[in-house]
Every structure is written in structure tokens, then in C-alpha cells.
């Protein structure tokens, strides 16, 4: 086995996704994933705690979101700081060359309740990280929570549209557009209240 080849986590993720699509999540083993990637089972466990985690890159996304919020212009209001972070996330994680892989991942998640539950937990944790980053920018607690939750909704809407095979927009501008739409919808709700 060529254990020394680069990008073991990426190879493991691609192999897992292929196997999950072929045999289903439940019927795929860690040994099969490692073998398909040309790696050992112990290499798999150096990078991931279990086969479920191979589909989730929460730490990297958390870092990108927090860095994006912190690096937003000082005068940026809270939702603008979140939009800035989503654009950064798009440039790093949701690139055109990853669109098909991301859409395939979403299909695997949709087919398995355990994975959908893990994805929901990941989104809750990412939203909490956005709240913490906004509070570091001296945003009041309630405003930080509102901006993070609206940003999470915009992210979800942008991701759904980005995965659409007919869509060719980049994720960052699409996420910024969804932030604007979510902002407008929230203002309309407040006006009607």
C-alpha cells in the first residue's frame, strides 16, 4: 500500500463517499474505506475517529468562519461580518472543483438519518462559533445570536442553490446574496409585527 502518498484525509473522504454511494453508509466498513484509498486502517484512525467523521470537516470550517468574522472590516455590522466569513468559506471550501463532491456528500447525508443528525449538530456548533466570534467583535449577545442564526440560514439557502446542477454561481457571492435576502425578509417580518 502506498501509505506515504499525500492527502490521506482527502483520499479517505473520496473513497468513503464512493463506497457510501455504492453500498450504503451502514454496509461500508472502515477497512473497506482504507483499502479503497490505498491506506491502512490505522492511517484512517489517525485522521478520523469513525467512518461518520470522514464526511465532516467541522474544525476546518469553524476556523474559516471565525477567521472571516474576526477579519471583517471593523465598521462591519454583525450580519455583514457573517457575510464576509461566508465569502471566505466559499473561497476556501466551496470551490467550483468541489461542487460535485459536495453535492454527492449531501445526497449521502440525506439518505441516512444518523448522518443527518450529525450534520444538524455540526450546523449548531458552527452557529455557536459564529456567535462567539461576533461577541469577540464586541457585538451584544442577542445581536450576535440573531446575526449568526440568520447567517446560518443564508448559508443553508446558498448551499442548496449552489448544489443545484443548473447553478454555476460561485458560493461566496451566492452566500452574500442570500444574506441580503435573509436580512430583507427579517426586516419585513419586523415591519409586519
What residues does each domain of the chain span?
A: 8-53, 56-192
For residue 190, the 8-state DSSP code is H
Q: What pLDDT does residue 29 have?
A: 96
Is residue 36 within 8 A of residue 27, CB to CB? The reply is no
DSSP code, position 32:
H
Helix (H, G, I), strand (E, B) or coil at 126: helix
The highest-level CATH class for domain 8-53 is mainly alpha
From first to last of the 193 residues of the chain, give the pLDDT tens digit: 444 567 898 899 999 999 999 999 999 999 999 999 999 999 999 999 999 888 887 788 899 999 999 999 999 999 999 999 999 999 998 998 889 888 999 999 999 998 999 999 999 999 999 999 999 999 999 999 999 999 999 999 999 999 998 988 999 999 999 999 999 999 998 888 7
Same fold, 8-53 and 56-192: no
CB-based contacts of 183, cutoff 8 Å, min separation 6:
79, 150
**Residue 48 near residue 35, CB atoms below 8 Å:** no
Cα separation, 193 vs 182, in Å, equals 16
- Entry pTM: 0.85
The hierarchical CATH code for the domain 56-192 is 1.10.357.10
187 class by beta-carbon count within 10 Å (0-12 exposed, 13-18 middle, 19+ buried): exposed
pLDDT digits (tens, 9 = 90+) for 55-104: 887 788 899 999 999 999 999 999 999 999 999 999 998 998 889 888 99
* Model pLDDT, residue 97: 87
Q: What pLDDT was estimated at residue 5? A: 66
Amino acid at each position: 500500500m502506498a501509505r506515504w502518498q499525500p492527502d490521506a484525509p482527502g483520499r479517505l473522504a473520496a473513497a468513503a463517499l464512493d463506497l457510501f454511494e455504492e453500498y450504503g453508509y451502514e454496509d461500508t466498513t472502515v477497512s473497506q474505506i482504507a483499502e479503497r484509498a490505498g491506506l491502512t486502517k490505522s492511517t484512517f484512525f489517525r485522521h478520523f475517529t469513525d467512518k461518520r467523521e470522514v464526511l465532516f470537516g467541522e474544525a476546518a470550517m469553524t476556523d474559516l468562519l471565525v477567521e472571516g468574522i474576526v477579519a471583517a472590516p471593523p465598521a462591519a455590522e454583525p450580519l455583514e461580518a457573517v457575510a464576509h466569513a461566508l465569502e471566505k468559506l466559499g473561497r476556501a471550501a466551496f470551490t467550483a472543483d468541489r461542487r460535485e463532491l459536495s453535492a454527492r456528500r449531501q445526497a449521502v447525508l440525506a439518505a441516512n438519518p444518523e448522518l443527518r443528525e450529525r450534520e444538524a449538530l455540526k450546523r449548531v456548533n458552527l452557529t455557536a462559533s459564529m456567535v462567539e466570534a461576533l461577541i469577540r467583535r464586541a457585538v451584544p449577545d442577542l445581536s450576535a445570536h440573531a446575526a449568526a442564526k440568520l447567517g446560518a440560514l443564508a448559508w443553508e439557502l446558498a448551499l442548496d442553490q449552489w448544489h443545484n446542477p443548473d447553478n454555476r454561481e460561485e458560493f461566496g457571492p451566492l452566500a452574500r446574496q442570500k444574506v441580503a435576502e435573509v436580512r430583507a425578509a427579517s426586516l419585513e417580518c419586523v415591519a409586519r409585527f
